[in-house]
Amino acid sequence: MEAAPVCNETISPEEFPKPEQAHRRSKASSGKKDAEADIELLCKAVPQIGKVFRVIDKIGEGTFSSVYLGEAQMLDGTRQKFALKHLIPTSHPTRIAAELQCLTVAGGRDNVIGVTYCFRKEDHVVIVMPYLEHRAIVDIIGSLSFEEVRLYIYNLLKALRHVHQFGIIHRDIKPNNFLYNRKTNEYALVDFGLAQGTADTQIDLLKVCRSTLRGGGSPATPAPTQRTKPAPTGGARSAEPSHRTKQSSTTIPAPNPPNPHPTASTSAPLPSPVAPSSSSSTICRKAVPKRRNVTAGSTSRSKHSKELSGLRKLQRPVFGERNMNSCAQAPSAAKASSARTEFVKVAKAEDPANRRCVAGRGTAPLRSQGANHKPPRAVPPSATCSCFQTDRVCNICLSRKQQIAPRAGTPGFRAPEVLTKCPNQGTAIDMWSAGVILLSLLSGRYPFFKASDDLIALSQIMTIRGSRETIQAAKTFGKSIVCSRELPRQDLRVLCETLRGRRPSPDDDHDVTPLNPAHGKTKTLGETPSHCPAGQDDRSDCKPSSKHPDTGDTQAVSMETEDERGWDRVPDEAYELLDRLLDLNPATRITAADALKHPLFRGLMQQRV
């Protein structure tokens, strides 16, 4: 291939050291050895990568991609770092092309990562992006100042406003996908692997995915070609999409600067196999739930992430699944645990939320175990079965087909309309996820919600936002929820300050109940929030903790230090914005454009951050 311009410079493949040189040195840990082996496989699978880049390390691994750090020597003699995202070979071409198109059309501005190149050899695709050095939020959350949090959210909202302007719903907004370099104050929204389009999306290839989702059929069954995770690079695959053409190494230079008005010609970053067709659409649709399953189990995604989670064991979610069954946990989690939640049919198909919703018709009522494709008005719930608005599900309802609605994303960040499988979902789902991030940052707890089951996730939301309010909001988008007990809405400032250890918890004097021998003891819950989050043991005294930058040791943070970071004077505006982001009703939830105008960001609007 020929070198393509990178930031107005040209890289010359001949000048680059061989990739093997980069990882020849012996490394002690098996993780490093694995990374080296993966790098070797990557360079074998896509030899051009090794000619252009010195592949330094593996920096991320998910079920759908592995990300490497590569360095290229530019013509002017400087060296530049790049992130090389190697997509799993079984990813559907349309899905890959859609991800690339999001990057080429919307990337490179407003805190959205750009794309520099794309390499393809046969079924291996490597997306080359500018590299942004960053640390995982879990490692820095305990040491962030309020001002840093304010800027982080401001910059996230800027990225969201930008992608939403293009009709892109990101669908996987979480700190792992919003990179933050604390030293340089740089931010980057990454990972459009789950993105979908709004009704008027400017991303042509997202229209393909969108129309497919609308087209019916159960998204619950992944395509066989996507069921088995292949070796990270070049390994044997269990199946291969038959429509792929074998082709020699191909490079696709990305437009730079990005084109804000995408046309058909920019819509096909990959060669011929990605042309929208009915067959590719079908697989594209099926790709979604597979991704969902994987992100739900993100803690066990890879060796890499396992190592990281091991290091982070002292940081626990405010809600965990364990506590949902133990009644011995954090802010009213016990209430949620004993509160059974179910969806039941509603008679009305009205959807006031559809102003912002994208995914076509189908406001059919839902129940978690199965749902009905028939318009609810046509079949009154009481006429079809006897379980309407009861806390059980009858056999008739159990035998119904699954409700079709996108559910991709990470459970703890899923909006109520996603959890209740509302088929009409819009950009508001990203705003909810941004709200969960803000809640995490203000409370100093990451992750805040952790659940692998949608109903548990919903009950966790109800614990914070109130069960009556959640039920009320769900009605507006055509869902009915039955909750066996009432959970009061929490005051967000009280909640966050309690979790930060800034307010005494009324539970402090209560009995201490063993929760899990492995994790010491946690306090029994009272009626008001306890500051001791799920699974948090006594060692950290339930105060925010931070990691020593070098040793990784967790240290309790003193109130004085907290005060210096501005946590003693968090303005009401922060909680007001949080309340608007965590609006249970997607139709009234604040948009990114409006959130940027929020008084919390006074003084930042003119600033090009």
Other C-beta atoms lying within 10 Å of the C-beta of residue 519: 18
- Cβ proximity to Mg ion, 173 vs 462, nearer residue: 173
Residue 141, C-beta contacts closer than 8 angstroms, at least 6 positions apart:
315, 440, 441, 444, 445, 446, 544, 546
| Residue 341 contact among ligand ADP, Zn ion, Mg ion, none, beta carbon within 5 to 8 Å by kind | none
Based on the shown chain and the rule CB under 5 A, indicate whether residue 522 belongs to the binding site for Mg ion.
Answer: no
C-beta of 307: minimal distance to ligand ADP in Å? 14
Q: Which CB sits closer to Zn ion, 109 or 392?
A: 392
- Fill in the per-residue mask, 153 to 182: x = in contact with Mg ion (CB under 5 A), - = not in contact: ------------------------x-----
Tell me how far apart the alpha carbons of residues 261 and 473 are, in angstroms, rounded to a whole number.
Answer: 36
Nearest approach, Cβ of 176 to Mg ion (angstroms)? 5
**CB 123, CB 244: distance < 8 Å:** yes
Instruction: Decide if residue 387 touches Zn ion (CB under 5 A).
Output: yes
Binding mask 261-290 for Zn ion (x = CB under 5 A): ------------------------------
Rounded CA separation 305/430 (Å) = 24
Annotated catalytic residue: which of 172, 204, 430, 454? 172
The verdict on whether omega for the bond into residue 89 sits within 30 degrees of 0, i.e. cis, is: no
Whole-number Å distance between alpha carbons of 107 and 120? 20
Annotation says 34 is catalytic: no
**Contact partner at residue 85 from Zn ion, ligand ADP, Mg ion, none, CB < 5 to 8 Å by partner kind:** ligand ADP
Closer to Mg ion by Cβ: residue 177 or 460: 177
- Residue 61 belongs to what H/E stretch? strand 54-61
Residue 64 interacting entry, from ligand ADP, Zn ion, Mg ion, none, C-beta within 5 to 8 Å by type:
ligand ADP
Instruction: Give whichever of 23 and 450 is closer to Mg ion, judged by the CB atom.
Output: 450
Q: Which does 387 bind (CB under 5 to 8 A by kind): Zn ion, Mg ion, ligand ADP, none?
A: Zn ion
Sign of the torsion formed by the C-alpha atoms of 188, 414, 477 and 422: positive
The number of CA neighbours under 13 Å toward the Cβ of 533 is: 29
601 neighbors 590 (Cβ within 8 angstroms): no
CB of 260 to Mg ion, least distance (A): 25
Query: Between residues 67 and 461, which has the closer beta carbon with respect to ligand ADP?
Result: 67
Q: How far is the CB of 352 from ligand ADP (least distance, A)?
A: 34
Q: Which of 231, 308, 327, 385 binds Zn ion (CB under 5 A)?
A: 385
Binding of residue 507 to Mg ion (CB under 5 A): no
Query: At residue 16, what is the residue type?
Result: F
Element (DSSP H or E) covering residue 153: helix 146-165
Q: What is the CA radius of gyration of the chain?
A: 24
Give the residues lining the site for ligand ADP (CB under 6 A).
Answer: 59-60, 62, 64-65, 67, 83, 85, 113, 129-132, 176-177, 179, 188, 190-191, 193
Closest CA to 480 of 586, 365, 370, 592: 365
Binding of residue 366 to Zn ion (CB under 5 A): no
* Ramachandran class of 37: left when φ > 0, alpha when ψ lies in -120 to 50, beta otherwise: alpha
- Can you list the positions of beta strands (E) in 484-582? 512-514, 521-523, 545-547, 554-556
Of 4, 394, 494, 556, which one interacts with Zn ion (CB under 5 A)?
394
Q: Which of residues 85 and 335 has its CB atom nearest to ligand ADP in the complex?
A: 85
Q: Provide the H-helix boundaries in 249-378.
A: 278-296, 303-311, 321-326, 333-338
Of the pair 79, 373, the CB lying nearest ligand ADP is at 79
Number of Cβ within 10 Å of residue 586's Cβ equals 28
Number of Cα atoms under 13 Å in the Cβ half of residue 88:
26
Structural contact between residues 51 and 43, judged by C-beta atoms closer than 8 angstroms: no
416 binds, among Zn ion, Mg ion, ligand ADP, none (CB under 5 to 8 A by kind): none
Please state the closest distance from residue 480 (CB atom) to Zn ion, in A.
Answer: 12
Min separation Cβ 193 and ligand ADP, Å: 4
191, 342, 417, 583: residue in contact with Mg ion (rule CB under 5 A): 191
65's contact among Mg ion, Zn ion, ligand ADP, none, with CB below 5 to 8 A by partner kind, is ligand ADP
Residues 338-357 that bind Mg ion (CB under 5 A): none
Contact by Cβ (8 Å): 533, 540: no
Number of residues that bind Zn ion (CB under 5 A): 5
* CA dihedral over 29, 32, 34, 36, signed as positive or negative: negative
The residue among 113 and 324 lying less far from ligand ADP, judged by its C-beta, is 113
- By a kind-dependent CB cut-off of 5 to 8 A, residue 55 interacts, out of Zn ion, ligand ADP, Mg ion, none, with none
Q: What CA–CA distance (Å, rounded) separates 243 from 72?
A: 33
Tell me: does residue 397 bind Zn ion (CB under 5 A).
yes
Note every long-range contact of 385-393, with CB atoms under 8 Å and residues 24 or more positions apart, other chains counting.
Answer: 387/344, 388/344, 388/345, 389/344, 389/345, 389/480, 389/482, 390/344, 390/482, 391/340, 391/342, 391/482, 391/484, 392/342, 393/342, 393/367, 393/368, 393/369
- Residue 371 within binding range of Zn ion, rule CB under 5 A: no
Question: Out of ligand ADP, Mg ion, Zn ion, none, which partner does residue 547 contact, by CB within 5 to 8 A per kind?
Answer: none
In angstroms, give the least distance from the CB of 240 to ligand ADP: 20
| Largest Cα–Cα separation, the chain | 76
397 binds, among ligand ADP, Zn ion, Mg ion, none (CB under 5 to 8 A by kind): Zn ion
Q: Does 332 bind Mg ion (CB under 5 A)?
A: no
61 is a contact residue toward Mg ion (CB under 5 A): no
Residue 99 binds Mg ion, judged by CB under 5 A = no
Using the rule CB under 5 A, is 347 a contact of Zn ion?
no
Contact call for residues 449 and 318 (beta carbons, < 8 A): yes
Q: Which is nearer to Zn ion, 7 or 398 (CB)?
A: 398
Minimum CB separation from ligand ADP for residue 60, in Å?
3
For Zn ion, which residue has the nearest CB?
A: 385
Total residues in contact with Mg ion, by rule CB under 5 A = 2
**Shortest distance, CB of residue 400 to Zn ion, whole angstroms?**
8
**Contact yes or no for 251/1 (Cβ under 8 A):** yes
Query: Which residues are identified as catalytic?
Result: 172
Could you list the residues that contact Zn ion (CB under 5 A)?
Answer: 385, 387, 394, 396-397
Could you list the residues that contact Mg ion (CB under 5 A)?
Answer: 177, 191
